[in-house]
Each structure stands twice: as C-alpha cells, then as structure tokens.
Amino acid sequence: MSDCCATGAKNGNDRYDLVVVGAGSAGFSAAITAAEQGAQVALIGHGTIGGSCVNVGCVPSKALIRAAEAVHHANAAATKFAGIAAQAHVVDWKAQIAQKDALVAGLRQAKYTDLLPAYNNVAYHEGRARLVEGGVEAGGQRFASDRIIIATGTRPALPTIPGIADVDPLDSTAALELTELPRSMIVLGGGYIGVELAQTFARVGVEVTLVFRSRLLPEAEPEIGSALTGYLEDEGVTVIGGLAYESVRRTQDGVMLTVVRDGRPETISAERLLVATGRSPNTEDMGLAEVGVVQTPTGAILVDDRMRTSKAGVYAAGDVTGKDQFVYMAAYGAKLAAKNALNSDSLRYDNSSMPAVVFTDPQIGSVGLTEARARAAGYDVRTSVLSLDNVPRALAARDTRGLIKLVADRGTRKLLGGHILAPEGADSIQTAAIAIRCGLTIDDLTDAIFPYLTTVEGLKLAAQTFDRDVSKLSCCAG
C-alpha cells in the first residue's frame, strides 16, 4: 500500500498538528485520538500496515494456540471423563496456517486499512521515516510539525551465540508461518513467547526441548513457573533451565546446540531451532541521536511518565519504549502521548493495575506486585497460595492444574498483587486488576459475591485463605 488513503495536509503549508511514525496498534491509537480532538495528523507507516500484534504476534499465535488446544483436549478427554472416547491429530498443518492467515488478513483490513477513510483529518503515507529539525522526512516527502510521536514497535532479536546465524533459526514470526511441522525443535527462551510456542508445537506432534538461562517465566511468581514446568513436562516437553549458551552448529539432521549446565557442556539436537529470547526496537536510521532523542543501550527510546522523550515535542509509545510490551498497553500509552502532545502534558502513564496474560494451558494471569517486588518496595507482606483442587470449578471440570496467589499489605490488608495459574485464568485476572485499581482489601474480596462454579470464585477463596482453612467451608465460598 502506498499512500492509498493519503489526503495531504489540511492546515496549509504542508504542516500538521501531529506526525505519528508507525502504523501499528500504538500508531493508530495515537492518530485516532488526535483526530478525534480535531487535529490534522500525518500517519507514516513502513511495511505491512497493522504492526506486530495483528500480523505476526497476538492474533496468529493465539489462533494456533487454540487449534493445538483442541487437539490436546480431545486426546486428554478419556483420561478425565468416564465413558468418553476421543482422538485428534494434525492431518494438514498447511490448512491451519491458511485459516490463520485469512483471519489475520481480515482483521488487518477491518481494524486498520478500512478505518483510515473514516478519519478525513488523518493523512496516511508510506515510507521509512527519519526525524529532522522541524518534522519528519519519509518517502521523499517532508512532514512539518512541532509534535511527533514515535511508535515503530519491535522485531525479534537474535542472541549473540556463536554460529546461530548460520543455522537458519526460526523466530516467532517464521515459526507461525511454517506450513510443514518439523519432527523436533529446540526453543530458546523461557519467557512468555517461548513457553507459548513450545507447548503449541508439542501439542501438534513436534518433539520439543525448551531451554533458558535462568528459570521458566522469571518475571512470574516462582510457584507459577515451577508448576508450569511440571505441566509442560507432563505433556512431553523437555524443560532445561539454569544454563549458558555455548554455540550452535548445523548437523546432517538439523542443528546442535551446545550449552553449559552445572559447569559441564551438554549438547541438544533437533531438526529446527526457534529463538524466542527477546525483541529489538525498530529505531535504526531514524536520526534520533541527531535530533537529541536519547535511547537505552539496546536502542529503546527513553520516555518519562508523560511519554515525552528527551527532545521537546517528541513523544514515544508502545514496544519501541521497551516498557510493558502488550498491545493494550501500547494503545494506552499512545493515546496518552497524543493527548499530552496536544494538551500540555497533563496525563501520567500508570501501569500499577496492568493485567498480563500468558496463553499457556493452564493460562497465567497476573496483576500488580509479585511477593518479591512488594518486599523490595518496603511493604510488610502477607501472601496466600490456593491450589486449584480447592476451587469447585476445577473439580467439576476435572482439571485441577494450577494455583492462585495473592499478595497483600499486612497492616492495611490492601491487595497488592494477584497471580492466577488456571485453565481459565486469563478471563479471571481482570477482577483482581479492578480490585487493585480501586484500592480494595482482601476483606473486600472475601465479602464480595462471586458466582459459584467459576474460576474467578477462586479469588474469593484465595482471599479467605489468608485467615481460614477454606477446605472447611461449604459450597459457594462460604
């Protein structure tokens, strides 16, 4: 697409009230927010419109995760439910990829391309952007403005392991485009992308080895990472942590990864290598240093709590800042940046009640502080940990994998953090997020009315666990 929806500047002299660089979720959020306030906006995109989430991230990965879940749960049904016989397996992965691609194309069209004509004060242009004094240059054009928002996102990063570039490694983007499944796969990285993809490929028949430097999901509560490790191993995933990467080389059958664990070298072989060890900001050749925009050593753009960079009039939002790399936080930060750019910087970025989800099975939902972070912040901490075999929903579903951990302040009893590992944990975490946002206590959760036989009822039970043995309560959480 090349300037398909561009309408040119509306306020004369080719000047805009705001120039937004990046046409993903953050860029569109900023442009739409500004347009709704009556601003004349230039939106500059480069590459496929829509950014990472809809094209190569959230949407395609969750579509394939759900397909793999269908295979797994059909095969697991007989072990859970008496009198049930079912079986499923992949017969045509290429067809599943085509279905995923159709979903991506449809959402990209509906949520990005088709939106542009609805905002006639947004001029869309294609081109690689570079900041210059007084505006932005892209595609051979100059877009003059005193206010700029950078929302160029990130891309998969390749770790510095000797030989890795020579083995044709998969990144998350390429992995989601495979039309033929490999026999075996090494997944590098124990973060959320690594664990989601490791489980997904294992469930569709790939022999998976998941390796990482420290522990699984190092940002999560250790109880959750430990439990999930066991569940992955139960499904046949080989999980190896606490190691250092030594080298990678090609073999006749694929790749060989050499690692060092407990001071001794080990080798791991597979047909393909999938790298999920992080992402790099898209900031190259943008002229940031020349105009005075300060970056971190990894290239991310430094912003303050108003989304301002070190250069007056220049803001940044979304994954390019290295903060809270979730699509909804990118949209939130970009909306804030647009309002601040046009309205005197009055709004502050607040992620204190930001929910985060990992789409493994069981799912992980987290919000607020972990126990370790709460203690580091100086709180006198109390915690409760409730295993899912105390939650009636899990018993009825015959799936008691998981736990719920709550973190609270001892004196005020205010809820500081909520962490759920459960098959339906993603849809339950928002209750804890609202509780934290509203400053509720564990007593407020205990006294609230929750629907019976739901996963979210486990939050009430976990709150009651601070002060009583919930196994001695009757139905409906007492």
The residue among 384, 424, 428, 439 whose CA lies nearest residue 406 is: 384
Distance CA(157)–CA(171), nearest Å, equals: 8
Q: Are the beta carbons of 280 and 299 closer than 8 angstroms?
A: yes
Binding positions are 62, 189-196, 278, 319
Sorted by sequence, the CB contacts under 8 Å of residue 279 that are 6+ apart come out as 154, 155, 156, 157, 319, 325
Question: Residue 342 has which token pair?
Answer: 């046009």
Read off the tokens for 390.
Answer: 């105390």
Phi and psi (nearest 5°) for 363? -75, 155
Residue 172, judged by CB atoms within 10 A of its CB (0-12, 13-18, 19+), counts as buried
Binding-site entries for FAD: 62, 319
Q: Residues forming the annotated binding site for NAD(+)? A: 189-196, 278
